[in-house]
Amino acid sequence: MLENRDYTLIIDKSGSMSTKDQQGGKSRWVAMQESALALASKCEEFDPDGLTVYLFSGRFKRYDNVTSNRVSQIFQENEPSGRTDLAGVLVDALNSYFQRKAARQTKANGETILVVTDGEPDDRKAVMKVIIEASRRLDRDEELAISFVQVGTDATATQFLKALDDDLQGAGAKFDIVDTITMDDMEDLTLTEVLLNAIID
């Protein structure tokens, strides 16, 4: 299933990502850079044309065909600041998938979208609506997977991400396409290991 699949990485760059609470006293942002590099290297094995990478806060930037040698440059161009407009970036990533699907440019095994965030989004309802609407446009459950990975220990963020995992089908989603990994689930795993597990899962 890993072969012939596209991978999109959506990275939160809101102000709280500069918090230094990761292993070894690193900031969430530095830990994220290391993890993104490992993830890009792994995805290259399955998908040589690279990842699509988004960085978002109040606005988002999109980078196409990102291979491991471009990751550090992307992180040098960006630093944490601003809000957490998760709905806006999800709309763009999902629209991109459905546009490629309509043009028959998607991979046979679909797409995995990994979202790494540390806080609660500005608009919870908007995020839920975007995912529910996307699920209704799918033909089969496994063509699209969205994995949310929480960095940091914000309890309200944990609660919201769990709700995305557990409650969307009750709210009208056609398929359960969301998987959530919180800090509690990580135990002794590093963020890098968690992201690699998420694409293999």
Domain ranges of the chain: 6-200
- Look at residues 38, 56, 50 and name the one whose alpha carbon lies nearest to residue 7: 50
The CATH homologous superfamily to which domain 6-200 belongs is: von Willebrand factor, type A domain (3.40.50.410)
Predicted pLDDT of residue 49: 82
Reported residue count of the chain is 201
User: Going by DSSP bridges, is the β-strand pair 51-56/60-66 parallel, antiparallel, or unpaired?
Assistant: antiparallel
Two structure tokens written together for 85: 């407009």
Predicted pLDDT of residue 1: 55
DSSP 187: T
Name every residue whose Cβ is closer than 8 Å to that of residue 4 and which is 6 or more positions away in sequence. 46, 107, 108, 109
Distance CA 41, CA 178 (A): 24
- Please count the other Cβ atoms lying within 10 Å of the Cβ belonging to residue 54: 23
Q: Which residues of the chain have pLDDT under 70?
A: 1-3, 201
pTM over 0.75: yes
Predicted pLDDT of residue 17: 94
pLDDT tens digits along 63-100: 999 988 999 999 999 999 999 999 999 999 999 999 99
Predicted pLDDT of residue 2: 60
Predicted pLDDT of residue 113: 94
Predicted pLDDT of residue 92: 97
Name every residue whose Cβ is closer than 8 Å to that of residue 8 and which is 6 or more positions away in sequence. 51, 52, 53, 54, 93, 96, 97, 111, 112, 113, 114
